């Protein structure tokens, strides 16, 4: 069994993780239709467009 020689301190661990953390999710792309960010290979949440076509109906400002 191979084990690390030393325990990594809380400070070191937190420092490492702070730099790795990303604000946006991986695979986020800008929608060509509305300019919103959405997950790649998923239908755009704000306008319902996918692959240049409207796939789902999105009622904008229907319920306020």
With beta carbons less than 8 A apart as the criterion, state whether 32 and 44 touch: no
Question: What per-residue string of b and e applies to 19-49 under the rule 16 or more CB within 10 Å gives b?
Answer: eeeeeeeeeeeebeeeeeebeeeebbeebbb
Q: Using CB under 5 A, which of 34, 39, 43, 58 touches Zn ion?
A: 34
Q: Which is closer to Zn ion, CB of 27 or CB of 36? A: 36
Considering the complex, state which of residue 39 and residue 46 has its C-beta at the smaller distance from Zn ion. 46
Nearest residue (CB) to Zn ion, 31 versus 39? 31
- The residues binding Zn ion (CB under 5 A) are 31, 33-34, 36, 44, 46-47, 49
């Amino acid at each position: 069994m191979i084990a690390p020689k030393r325990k990594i301190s809380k400070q070191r661990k937190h420092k490492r993780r702070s730099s790795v953390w990303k604000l946006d999710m991986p695979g986020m792309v800008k929608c060509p239709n509305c300019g919103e960010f959405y997950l790649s290979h998923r239908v755009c949440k704000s306008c319902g467009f996918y692959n240049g076509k409207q796939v789902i109906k999105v009622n904008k400002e229907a319920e306020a």
